[in-house]
Amino acid sequence: MGVARLLAKGWIVFCLFAGAHALVMGLARGEAPPEAVAFVSVCVLLFAAMGLLFVGGFGMSAGAGVPLRARLKPDHLWPGFNEVVFVAFAALSFVVQVFVAPRLFGGPLADAVEGALYVVVPGQHALENAVAPCHLDGGRVFASAFAWLLAMIFVASSVSRVEITAGLIRLERARRPSAFGPTLLAALYGLTAIVAFQLLFVGSIYPWLGCSAFADLTGAVLIGLAPLLLGYLIFAALAMLRASAPANRERDD
């Protein structure tokens, strides 16, 4: 749950999610499937490698002398339960965004989901107001509402495992000290989550985006993946905050 590991996981998911949307958009423009797959695959690999190279260098510089061999053990690379759920939700959000939302928007089911999320996510109103003049809805508001619903489910379910994650973080810190302690990381994640909360949940970023942004990868990622990334960031902040507290606390009877 260190900074480098969190950035690496988020970057990989971001590249795969954006690459999948780029492939769908290329096929929709009439590009041949083999050429579209080859072009998108190369771009995804290059961007993923570039980001992981930067993240890896940052992680090694903050590793407090921990050798690279110790950081590349299989138990560090395999995703945990929360990561598996997050990836599954991201894939589900992509499927709904690409294949379901364009067919259901404007119907009773889409209206019910959007109406429910209007009550709890102010950014839904901002998104609807931003795409309305562009005549670009096409299920974008419904896809955003569904992504926020998945993000809330993820946060609610992961909260029950915060204590387990915090314990694992303490064990890892005890075996491999890092330059960034849990308290500092909790503050860093918390501040980042607050900024993202204002931009996405409140919707402050949507009025600044033009119509072209909602029609390309920028809008696709903001609508389908950004809410889930914010949910995972909130969970990481809570886990780090819990890990910064003593493992055993005296409780008043």
Q: What is the number of other CB atoms lying within 10 angstroms of the CB of residue 31?
A: 15
d(CA 212, CA 66): 46
What pLDDT is attached to residue 64?
46
Total domains, the chain: 1
The Cβ of residue 88 has, within 10 Å, a number of other Cβ atoms equal to: 12
Within 10 A of 1 (CB to CB), how many other CB atoms are there?
21
Is position 249 within any domain? no
With beta carbons less than 8 A apart as the criterion, state whether 234 and 190 touch.
no
Q: Point out the residues of the chain with pLDDT beneath 70.
A: 1-4, 55-79, 176-180, 246-253
pLDDT for the residue 143 = 94
Whether residue 248 is contained in a domain is answered as no
- Helix/strand/coil for 106: coil
Task: Supply the range of the domain harboring residue 235.
Answer: 3-243
Task: DSSP for 145-209, please give it.
Answer: HHHHHHHHHHHHHHHTTHHHHHHHHHHHHHHS--SS-HHHHHHHHHHHHHHHIIIIIS-TTGGGS
Signed CA dihedral, 105, 109, 111, 113: sign only: negative
Element counts in the chain: helices (H) and strands (E): 14, 0
Contact 81, 160 (CB under 8 A): no
Residue 251: inside a domain, yes or no?
Answer: no
Q: Is residue 253 part of a domain?
A: no
In a domain, 193, yes or no: yes
Largest CA distance in the chain: 69
Map residue 30 onto helix, strand or coil. Answer: coil
pLDDT reported for residue 204: 94
**Is there a domain that residue 68 lies in?**
yes
Residue 250 lies in a domain: no
Residue 153 included in any domain: yes
What angle, 0 to 180 degrees and rounded to 10, lies between the N-to-C axes of helices 3-28 and 33-61?
170
